[in-house]
Chains A and B, each alone.
Chain A
Amino acid sequence: GAGVSQSPRYKVAKRGQDVALRCDPISGHVSLFWYQQALGQGPEFLTYFQNEAQLDKSGLPSDRFFAERPEGSVSTLKIQRTQQEDSAVYLCASSPRWVGQLFYEQYFGPGTRLTVT
């Protein structure tokens, strides 16, 4: 079946522009996660949803970052007034399990590479 998809795959933004990154999780997956990955580093947690509820947003770097999943499926990560330090790959992952279950394997999308110039 179809995996997690993300769009756009590449985005170049001028400093100060707003961007919106989209994630289409695997159909029926209840949990959805966003990560930021800098070059040569591991993915860094940003936020996660269980259905439409955002249960943890402690990893969002600033109030310029905002994520939503209004109908419990597609999610959008929005970055306002982009800065150069926002340049990274943004990964989305989904899981068929509730986070409270012991095993919650995550299925990652290919990521969106954001470059802020």
Chain B
Amino acid sequence: QQPVQSPQAVILREGEDAVINCSSSKALYSVHWYRQKHGEAPVFLMILLKGGEQKGHEKISASFNEKKQQSSLYLTASQLSYSGTYFCGTAQGGKLIFGQGTELSVKP
């Protein structure tokens, strides 16, 4: 089942912070985060595992709440380069099921 992301879209000014949430109705063992700019390939950001392990990227951090079956991606002091669509994905073996995406626009 597809994870649900919120919000669907967010507009920020440079330097502002944002949080993107990803929820699943199924038990989560890992959550993957990717960013896709318009017309480009998705780029890996982070994987979080049950138990707290994570493999991260740049100045972006994330949390994983196993009880609530959700993950949150934290973008602090946003830069213009953060603009794009953010996808979370839940892994079921080799199958990665992506959410519908959150479109983030950072304005100068």
- A109 and B93: CB pair below 8 A? no
The size of the chain B interface, using a CB distance under 8 A, is 25
Question: Chain A 92-105 against B: per-residue CB contact (8 Å), 1 yes, 0 no?
Answer: 01000001001111
- A44 and B53: CB pair below 8 A? no
- Of B30, B32, B41, B47, which is within 8 A of A108 by CB? B41
A59 beta carbon closer than 8 Å to chain B = yes
B43 beta carbon closer than 8 Å to chain A = yes
Interface of A is mostly: loop
Interface of B is mostly: strand
Residue of B nearest to A58 (CB): B95
Residue of B nearest to A43 (CB): B98
A110 beta carbon closer than 8 Å to chain B = yes
The minimal Cβ–Cβ distance linking A70 to chain B, given in whole angstroms, is: 19
